Structure 1
Amino acid sequence: MSLRARVIAIATATVVLAGVAVVYTVGAVQRAEPADAVSAFGLDSGRLYFRSTEAGHGRVARLPAAPATAGERRRTTGGPVCERFHAAGGTGLCLQRRPGIPPTSYAVVLDRRLREKRRIPLTGIPNRARVSASGRMLSWTMFATGDSYATSSFSTRTSILDTRTGYLIKNMEEIQLTIDGRRSHSPDVNYWGVTFARDDNRFYATVSTKGKTYLVEGDMKKWTARALRENVECPSLSPDGTRLAFKKRVRDGARDPWRLYVLDLRTMRERPLAEQHSVDDQAAWLDDSTLGYALPGRDGRASDIWTVPADGSGTPALRVAGGSSPALVP
């Protein structure tokens, strides 16, 4: 090949590669649109908000509070793109993961109009997101290693943000933990799935240590936590503050290990719910008697949102085809 031919070939290859890079970059930006873009709607009372997983976009969408018919096609899309989402008290929390080498993640605090107020850089894979009823306290969990609670080869990092003071706890592993009346100093602790009480001080979460998982009750002011019982994961406190929904390990191994339960905090009695499928989600209370949660989708959808009565009666019902991260704004 002549020198001129080599030069032409190299120039052509450079143009092609540049074109590919531009296409990839544009596609990546479209898949990870900033949360501070103008939203088509805000956080209004009586609306069900969720991640729309149709076509894999992950945009926040909303529905009327009352169930619709004909496959729930009355959704309004146009919110930010999130991997996980939750909202309450006029505050939204959007966990984002943007492509790149390496990928980058963010916790994005949103106002009532779903406009960005604060962006916090994170490491890992977004996993859980919760906002307290008042909108003041936010928490999120990231997988530092691994991507499933079904195996032992994972590590999590859970953060708590007080939006009133701006104080951020980057990793709650240093909280003073008591198990069976004794202070725990084990270095292998992992926390995840925080849920807040209405006083914005008391909270519940899961901790794993020495091969066991526990439900812990925490105190923000004292920065202490005590284990209440074993085998409780991803707790979710009811609006009236009397019950916790959670997933309980009912089978060993990584195949279909969990079932949804509700724990009465006064009697400490638990009740299995009617959902028979294994639910790997932090269920959300849509009201004092109904829970919403995500399951793997049908017909090629990434996930669907289902509901089930919180008293153990009834049968599961499909609420949103193509959705996850449900949050009903009171």
Structure 2
Amino acid sequence: MTRDRQPTGLSCARFYAAAGTAVCLSAKPGLAPMTTATVLDRDLRPVRTVEFGGTPNRARVSPSGRMVSWTVFVSGDSYTANSFSTRTGILDTRSGYLIKNMESIQLYLDGERHHAPDVNFWGVTFTADDNRFYATVNTGGRTHLVEGDMAAWTARTLRANVECPSLSPDGTRIAFKKRVRDGATDPWRLHVLDLRTLRETALAETRSVDDQAAWLDDATVAYALPGSAVWKVPADGSGSPSLVSADASSPAVVG
């Protein structure tokens, strides 16, 4: 079920909202790609803007509405490109503390402190406590799911081949895109990871999904497909995909 659409006047390449806070990523024209992140209140009135280099890619708001994150491409324009680089920022809307590039975080790869010039983070998803988060890190030609701690400013890898994680409302599972075909233009398939058992479940959507999925509820995952349409599928691997809204992208549930 969807509500009637309401025009806002915003032009967003990526959008996300939760608990009265929204973030709109918009591309700025010019010789060098630039992005503006506009943080909005529950009435979609701007309360803060941040500008940085790159092309809009991912956006998230924590369940409480306090923490906002975004990812941009700063070279290349696709995860399927031979060479790409990302930059991910985090804003604490309560304190105003801004991290423009989270690559300064202390990263532990398979339990060992990891330093490398090729480290890239993207696709942050926050837990309910506004301190812990999950994200993707790429280094050495491999992607990993990391669990991060804002206060300690550390992150540790949990599992390989996990991209664009999205934490379920109950905090027990992560929806993500998994690379299942190498060297293809359609390499990914949506999966759900149980954080307690680390067991993966492939979802019924067999088309390649290059998106950070959003949970409509604890049983349903939504995502955008090329052609600007939002679809949904059960999170337990059953059923089949169904259309939520045509001519749409960046799904988010706002209570």
| 1:82, distance to aligned residue in structure 2 (A) | 0.6
Contact persistence 1:261–1:270 (CA under 8 A)? yes
Instruction: Write the mapping of 1:52-91 to structure 2, written as runs, cut at 5 A.
Output: 66-67=1-2, 74-91=4-21
Contact persistence 2:33–2:55 (CA under 8 A)? no
Match of 1:222 in 2: 152
**Structure 1 residues 79 and 243 mapped into 2: Cα distance closer, same or farther (>3 Å)?**
farther
Task: Write the letter of the residue equivalent to 2:109.
Answer: I
In 1, Cα distance between the equivalents of 2:119 and 2:32?
26
Residue 63 (structure 2) pairs with residue 133 (structure 1): yes
In 1, Cα distance between the equivalents of 2:35 and 2:97?
20
Match of 2:251 in 1: 326
Match of 2:136 in 1: 206
Q: Deviations over 1:183-224 (max 9, x none)?
A: 001111000000000000000000000010000000000000
Instruction: Write the mapping of 1:60-209 to structure 2, written as runs, cut at 5 A.
Output: 66-67=1-2, 74-209=4-139
Contact persistence 1:151–1:254 (CA under 8 A)? no
Q: Deviations over 1:162-189 (max 9, x none)?
A: 0010000110111001111110011110
- Normalising to structure 2: TM-score of the pair? 0.97
- Normalising to structure 1: TM-score of the pair? 0.76
Task: Write the letter of the residue equivalent to 1:80.
Answer: L
| 1:254, distance to aligned residue in structure 2 (A) | 3.5
Match of 2:235 in 1: 310
The percentage of counterpart residues that share the same residue type is 68
Q: Deviations over 1:107-164 (max 9, x none)?
A: 1000111000001111110000000000000100000001111123100000000001
| 1:78, distance to aligned residue in structure 2 (A) | 2.6
Residue 210 (structure 2) pairs with residue 280 (structure 1): yes
Contact persistence 1:83–1:126 (CA under 8 A)? yes
Q: Counterpart of 1:173 in 2: which secondary structure? A: helix
Q: Deviations over 1:243-288 (max 9, x none)?
A: 0000000000132100000000011101000000000000000111
User: Runs of 4+ in structure 1 displaced over 4 angstroms?
Assistant: none
Contact persistence 2:71–2:86 (CA under 8 A)? yes
The aligned length equals 255
Task: Write the letter of the residue equivalent to 1:314.
Answer: G
In 2, Cα distance between the equivalents of 1:184 and 1:100?
36
Greater fraction of residues in strand: 2
Residue 238 (structure 1) aligned to one of 168, 180, 190: 168
Q: Counterpart of 1:323 in 2: which secondary structure? A: coil
In 2, Cα distance between the equivalents of 1:319 and 1:310?
15
Task: Structure 2 unaligned segments of length 5 or more: list them.
Answer: none
In 1, Cα distance between the equivalents of 2:28 and 2:177?
29
Task: Write the letter of the residue equivalent to 1:295.
Answer: L
Greater fraction of residues in helix: 1
| 1:67, distance to aligned residue in structure 2 (A) | 4.5
In 2, Cα distance between the equivalents of 1:277 and 1:261?
12
Contact persistence 1:294–1:323 (CA under 8 A)? yes
Q: CA RMSD in A?
A: 1.1
Q: Deviations over 1:26-74 (max 9, x none)?
A: xxxxxxxxxxxxxxxxxxxxxxxxxxxxxxxxxxxxxxxx248xxxxx4
